[in-house]
Amino acid sequence: MVTFVASVVIFGLLIFAHELGHFVVAKRVGIGVHEFAIGFGPRLFGRQVGETSYSLRVFPLGGFVRLRGEDPDEAHEEDSFQRKPVWKRFMVIASGPLMNFVLAVLLFAAIYFAYLGVPLYRSTAIGELIPGGRAEAVGLLPGDRILTIDGNAVADWHTLVAQINANPEREIIIEYQRDGRVQTVTVVPRRDPQSGIGLIGIAPQSQKYAVLPSLRAGLFHTLWFVRFLGASIVQMVTGRAAPDVVGPLGIIQIVGEVARTGVFNLLSLAAIISINLGLINLLPIPALDGSRLMFLVVEAVRGRPVDPRKESFIHFVGFTVLILLMILIAYRDLVRLEIFF
C-alpha cells in the first residue's frame, strides 16, 4: 500500500508539473486550451472552467494538455497553436521539461529548508563530527571554531577544507576557539582511497528554515544533477557506457523502497526522476517534446513549416517505437522482479 500511494503521489506530481508548464505558457501567449488532464483512460471526474475542461483520469501514469489547433480542423482559428509565431510555440513546448527542472529545484530546496539546513560555508565553526573520524578521536567538538591550520588563517569553510585536503597522512596543527578560549590540537588527516585527499571527519554548521539560501542550494543541487545525468545519457548514447534503463515498474519498486526510508529521501528521489524526465523530453526523439522543438527550429530556419502530414507520421512512428520499447523494458522489469513463475 505504501508503494502504491507513494508512486501515485510522485508520478502525479511530476506529470502535473510538466503539463502545468505547457498549460500556463499556452494561456499566457494566447493559445486556447481544450483540456488539462492528469492520467489516461476514462474520466474519474472533471470540471469545465471557461473554455478549459480539467479532469482526473483512471490511470495516473501520464497526463496531457490538449491545445486548440492540434486538430487540423482548428488550425485556422485565431487562438490556434498553429497560428502563433514560432517563438511562442517553442516556449509552449519547452515549458514542460523546464517545469520538471523547476520542480526539482523546489523539492531540493524543501529538503534543505526543513531537513538538512543550508551549509554555512562562510563560517569555520564545526557543525557535525563524522563518527569514528580523526577529528572526533582528537577531541574536537561541534561548535569549535577553527582559526588556523599550521599557522595559516582560515576565513571560510572552503579554505579550511582545502588545507585539510592537501595534507593526507601528514600531521597538521589546528588552532580553534571553544567557549572563548583558544586551544590547539594535532591531527593526521586520513587519506581517502578514491580521491587521495585528506579527511578528518567534520561537516560545517547549517541553517534551517532559510528560504532564499535553501532555494539557492536547491538550484545548485539541480544543476549538478543535470550535468551528471546529462553526461550519463551522452555516454549511453555514444556507447561509452552500457545502457541502464528502468521502466515504470522498476521505478515504482524503487519508489516503494525509498518511501520506507523517510519522506525526505522520497522527495530527493522525486527530484532526481523529475530531472531525468526533463532531460529525456528534451532529446530529439519523435513523439517527445524535443522532437517537436526540433521541427520548430527547422521551420524557423526554412521560413516555412514542415508538411504537417509528414511531421504527424514521424511522431506516430516514434510513438509506436516508444510504446514497444516501454513494453520491452516493462518485461525486463518483471523478469528482474521475479514476477513470472
Tens-place pLDDT, residues 32-78: 999 999 888 888 888 999 889 999 888 776 788 999 887 777 777 88
What is the spatial distance between Cα 55 and Cα 44, in angstroms, rounded to a whole number?
8
Q: Among the options 19, 51, 74, 175, which is catalytic? A: 19
Residue-level pLDDT at 243: 61
Give the pLDDT mean for 261-273. 88
Residues 187 and 325 in one domain: no
Domain boundary among 204, 235, 254: 204
pLDDT exceeds cutoff 80 at 237: no
Active site residue 70: no
Residue-level pLDDT at 288: 85
Residue-level pLDDT at 340: 42
Whether residue 43 is contained in a domain is answered as no
262 versus 25: which is more confidently predicted? 25
What is the spatial distance between Cα 273 and Cα 18, in angstroms, rounded to a whole number?
12
Q: What is the pLDDT of residues 128-165, one digit of tens each?
A: 999 999 999 999 999 999 999 999 999 999 999 999 99
Residues 255 and 308 in one domain: yes
Per the prediction, the chain carries an average pLDDT of 86
Residues 168 and 308 in one domain: no
For 282-312, give one letter per residue: b (16+ CB within 10 A) or e.
beebbbbbbbbbbbbeebeeeeeeeeeeebe
Residues 264 and 237 in one domain: yes
Give the E-state strand segments of the chain in sequence order. 33-49, 52-67, 118-119, 126-129, 145-149, 152-153, 172-178, 181-187, 190-191, 198-199, 202-204, 206-207
Residue-level pLDDT at 19: 92
Q: Which domain, by its residues, includes 142?
A: 126-204
Whether residue 320 is contained in a domain is answered as yes
Residues 228 and 331 in one domain: yes
329 falls in which pLDDT band (50, 70, 90)? low
Strand partners, 152: 149
Residue-level pLDDT at 114: 94
* 3-state SS, residue 129: strand
Residues 113 and 245 in one domain: yes
Residues 187 and 328 in one domain: no
Percent of the chain with pLDDT over 90: 53
Whether residue 20 is contained in a domain is answered as no
Number of domains within the chain: 2
Entry pTM: 0.82
Give the pLDDT mean for 178-199. 94
DSSP secondary structure of 214-259: HHHHHHHHHHHHHHHHHHHHHHHHTTSS------HHHHHHHHHHHH
Whether residue 131 is contained in a domain is answered as yes
Residues 156 and 303 in one domain: no
Residue-level pLDDT at 69: 82
Whether residue 153 is contained in a domain is answered as yes
